[in-house]
Amino acid sequence: MTHAYPRSQAILDAAQRGRGARRLVVLLVLSFWALWFFASSLTVRVTSTSARLVSGTGPYTVEASISGLVEEVLATLGAPIAAGAALVRLDPDHAAIDLEEAKTVTKQLEAEQSQLEARRLRERQAVDATLHAHRAAVEVARQELREAEIARRLAELHASRWQELFDEGLSSRAELDTALGELERQKTFEQAKRTAVEQLQWELDAEQDRQAATLAELDGRIARLQGESESSRAEVERSREEHAQTTLRAPISGRVATLHDLQRGATVQPGQPVATIVSDEALRVVAEFEPDRALGRIQPGQRCQLRLDAYPWTQFGTAEGSVQRVALEPRGGSVRVEAVLDSVPSGIELQHGLTGRLEVELEDASPAVVTLRFLAR
């Protein structure tokens, strides 16, 4: 069959073949996209809201323990420093004066205590000698009283016999009166001895009470001085420690991260920060994540990448590591995650305080799964 317009027919045939080819191309693209969408694998990552490099033990702030005037600043900002090295030296004159005054007071109290203890020893010896003499006198008086009692009993016996003889008419009245007189004399003598014993015993008791009061008074003064001496020795130790604290030292080895602007003659107060030391121990990453992205998803051991603000990742790359610890609950609206780095590009110099973003690899999933999760939010 012959067409009236062969050229037009040729154009229509070519267009028909072109549409078929385009359909085939579109079908192939859609097939490859569907294969990629459902069968390929993507690494799902979650990015922190903030991240920071910190020392392994964290920064250590050095504070003044006493008040004083700055005499010399020995540390340099950013310089390495050894544990125990001097950072700042305060004027030691005031602390030294306090220490010497405390030592002087302690020596005076100890000398006074020694004098009182020596006096107490002398008093104790004198008391022993006095009481010994009083006890001896009492014992002699008691012996004399016992002899007087025997003499009185003998006089009573003689008077009784003379009374019997007189009643029988065998003796005279004068002889009986003599025996009775002797009896009365012995009774009087016995009473005098008993009174002497009682007087000496009373004096002995009074002397014991007086000496006990004297010793008790000395003991009280000695005890008071002992308490004051102990307090004074404690003050000496405090002053010695205060004198030692006039030199502020680095508690750990590391670098001087911050150094407050302290000029010679400036006044510092107790608790005032002077410097911050960053440990030489390995740095770690401390990142903060949104709770819904971190809890139940980020686990220790997962790989992560750190992009530092000071080192653009497009130029320097990223540092890699793994998650070490994950907080169990949010604090301040975020979840804390700690990570350690094991691979750092050669152009990056890690330092305490560098900030950035931490990306944690959660899992591998197909684009379809990722899309469905996104749409389900």
- Shared-domain flag, residues 313 and 368: yes
Q: Residue type at 220?
A: G
Residue 18 in any domain: the answer is: no
Residues 6+ apart with CB under 8 A from 354: 52, 53, 308, 309, 310
- Shared-domain flag, residues 224 and 164: yes
For residue 268, what is the domain's CATH number? 2.40.50.100
Residue 26 in any domain: the answer is: no
User: What pLDDT is attached to residue 53?
Assistant: 87
Among 242, 267, 293, the domain-final residue is: 242
Using an 8 Å Cβ cutoff, are 362 and 46 in contact?
Answer: yes
User: What pLDDT is attached to residue 97?
Assistant: 63
- Shared-domain flag, residues 51 and 181: no
- Shared-domain flag, residues 288 and 196: no
Residues 6+ apart with CB under 8 A from 180: 159, 162
- Shared-domain flag, residues 213 and 315: no
Among 255, 278, 301, the domain-final residue is: 278
Residue 257 in any domain: the answer is: yes
Residue 22 in any domain: the answer is: no
Residue 20 in any domain: the answer is: no
Residue closest to 305 by CA, chosen among 295, 319, 315: 319
For residue 51, what is the domain's CATH number? 2.40.30.170
Residues 6+ apart with CB under 8 A from 152: 183, 186, 187, 189, 190
Per-residue pLDDT tens, the chain, 377 aa: give them. Answer: 455 556 666 665 666 666 666 666 666 676 666 565 555 556 778 899 999 988 766 677 888 877 777 777 878 887 888 888 888 877 765 655 666 777 787 888 778 878 878 877 887 887 788 888 888 888 888 898 899 889 889 988 988 888 888 888 887 888 888 888 888 998 898 898 889 888 988 988 888 888 888 878 888 888 887 887 787 777 767 766 766 667 778 887 778 878 887 777 778 788 888 888 877 666 889 999 999 888 888 999 999 999 999 999 889 999 999 999 999 889 988 999 999 888 889 888 888 788 999 999 887 655 655 566 556 55
**Statement: the pTM of the whole predicted model exceeds 0.75:** no
- Shared-domain flag, residues 153 and 129: yes
> How many structural domains is the chain composed of?
3
Residue 193 in any domain: the answer is: yes
- Shared-domain flag, residues 215 and 261: no
Q: Residue type at 206?
A: A
- Shared-domain flag, residues 227 and 299: no
User: What pLDDT is attached to residue 320?
Assistant: 92
- Shared-domain flag, residues 185 and 274: no
For residue 209, what is the domain's CATH number? 1.10.287.1490
Domain holding 126, by residue range, is: 94-242
